[in-house]
A and B are shown apart, each in its own frame.
Chain A
Amino acid sequence: MSLLAIENLSVEVEGKKVLNGFNLTIEKGEVHVLMGPNGSGKSSLIMTILGYPGYKVCAGAITFDGRELNSMSINERVKLGISIAFQTPPEIRGVKLRDIIRISGGKSLWNPQIEPEEEFATPLLKKVGLEPTQFRDRDIGVGFSGGERKRSELAQIFASNPKIMILDEPDSGVDIDSLKTIGIDLGEYIKGHDCACLIVTHYRHILPYLNPTLAHVMCGGKIVKSGSPMEIFTKIEEKGYCEYLELCPPGIKEEIEKGLVINNTEF
């Protein structure tokens, strides 16, 4: 039995098709890389796995650890052992970073009467390179830099002890030194916990730390190519996504080409 099995998934957001016959299986402990131009549906796939409202499943099924997810609420799904690092997590005023880390680990909010020094979130913050005395009592996301946001997501992932971690561009907007520490942290965790991983990224820098099994290229809401991560990366770095566009569902190619112009300037 596969850990995560996505079969023929089609999803609509506000009447727009964002996934279009998407297929993917991930076995226990495997690391998969997902690439694709902006707007190809990578984040939408993640939101759909979580069961976010607004992502309407028109066809297909997602099973995790043998359980069909389609009718479960978000919290029921993550409790099965799925943990997400979001591309753009929200800001929540008044909710403290230490508390969301504790919640991710199934712990109650910090109560200084019971626990004079916070003991759960503190070491995790340290681990991801956020100085605990500075970040413990900060409101989630409020005033965080891009890199701090990514690290705070990782602390929550590590807290939750998942069977699979799904990372949506954990390396975007992060400086080269931080990239290395994030890579090392993730690699160690995945290895140490036999944790599976689906990572969305545009860059190869982080990959050596993660030792990925397979890479996939997504276009127009489906995977158009799978193969060895280094091979695929080398090709994309040389030629961009152009040749994969031919493999897109009909009608989508032109739309993506428009997006690609913007996409290329971003690299």
Chain B
Amino acid sequence: MNWKEELNKKAVGVQDKSALLGPDVDMKQFKGQALTKQAFQLPSDVADRAKTVGINPDEESRSGTFFQLDHSVILACRKKEIEGVEVMGTPQVVEQYDWLKDYYWKAVAVDTDKYTAEAETHQHPGGYFIRTKPGVRLTLPVQACLFIGTQGLLQAVHNIIIAEENSELHIITGCTTHPQVKNGMHIGISEFYIKKGATVTFTMIHGWAEDVEVRPRTGVIIEEGGTFISNYICFKPVKSLQMYPTSYLVGENSRVRYHTLIYGMGNSLLDVGSRAVLSARGARAEMTSRIIGKNSARIIARGHLVGEFPETKAHLDCRGLLLSSTAQIHSVPELEAKTQGCDLSHEAAVGKIEEAQLCYLMSRGLNEDEATALIVRGFLDPEVPGLPQHLKQEVRKTIELTSEKVM
């Protein structure tokens, strides 16, 4: 049995294993088969929708592009003039590179739950592979779009990102559905390997639809002096979304930053956390979340800091704002020190908009809705520490675009 078959067997063994968190999704209701045929050009309605999650269909100011529509990879390439980065479909890489076995399901366990199992055994595997070669520093981001174009589809992707030693990689991932797609499911496995001295920034924008189930599973391994910056944005409704990306800081002086912006609305259930396991001297983690709850949305904002080694430091900062009396925000910060010398802290505050702020803005001429919108905008400040300037502008633009209708 080769390594792939072994993993597959392991996956089959946990096909009924419910996840620890989030409502259990019956995956049988979804189709494995896509309606869309292999396309070589992006249909214009697909391209337009992709723009709302940060994707530039014309590939302007990008190092490379990956585009998956349903199960078909439409684009996987780097810009001709950009050297030192590989952008491919993961299934193709599995065939091509035997060494991938050292990365495949090494940051996320294949037998985590039924969703990881589904990703491994799915009829039409997908996902992207992005790798920067040692010492290569890309300034322009690589973009990746995972798009559901068929009603009721179950899309499962497995992404592998490798930043070799001293390289720098920026990724913008946009996940969305066709405007006509109301329900479906997305399972996204993402495994990041940040080698010695490498930096990866990962901006992920989710723009799903009201009846879409979403179960990402993410693991990040950060070596000595490596930095991972995650910037997660979700401003659209979803049926339920549960994720708890975990960073393993295994190298000395490794760093991780999570910045999470969530605008929960409708009947969305969002169970979103970030976890950092600090297991080397000098490792640092910082997490900030800004959560808005509107309509009847329910949002659970988790954070888990695990200190396993002395001289480590981590901080978690979660703020939630309720815009309706039927929305709920539940903040669950966890600090776990397993040895002396871990400096772990958190602050959390959840409440409604302060009347004093609202009235103050009204006393400058805004009506109540305008004043609320301005406070909400300020609250969801896209200022991500550590993101390069041009990317900040990019993210800000996306937020403006995404938030146009909701704010």
Contact = CB atoms under 8 A, between A and B. Distances in A.
Main secondary structure of the interface of A (DSSP, over half): mixed
Interface residues of A, number: 26
Contacts of A84: 363
Given A53-B355, A139-B378, A92 B361 contact: yes
A100 B378 contact: no
B323 interface: no
Interface string A77-112: 011000010100110111110011001101001000
A92 B366 contact: no
A74 B378 contact: no
A73 B366 CA distance: 10
A156 B361 CA distance: 11
Contacts of B380: 94
A94 B364 contact: no
Interface in B352-378: 354-357, 359-368, 374-375, 377-378
A106 B363 CA distance: 12
Which one of A95, A99, A139 has the greatest number of beta carbons of chain B within 10 Å? Answer: A95
A100 B361 contact: yes
Contacts of B360: 86, 89-90, 92
Nearest to A84: B363
Contacts, number: 66
A92 B375 contact: yes
Contacts of B379: 93-94
Given A52-B359, A53-B359, A95 B378 contact: yes
A103 B378 contact: no
Interface in A137-164: 139, 156, 160
A139 B363 CA distance: 17
B381 interface: yes
A195 interface: no
Interface of A: 50, 52-53, 73-75, 78-79, 84, 86, 89-90, 92-96, 99-100, 103-104, 106, 109, 139, 156, 160
28 contacts: A50-B363, A73-B368, A74-B362, A74-B363, A75-B362, A75-B367, A75-B368, A78-B363, A84-B363, A90-B356, A90-B357, A92-B360, A93-B379, A93-B381, A94-B375, A94-B379, A95-B374, A95-B375, A95-B377, A95-B378, A100-B361, A103-B365, A106-B365, A109-B374, A139-B378, A156-B364, A160-B364, A160-B365
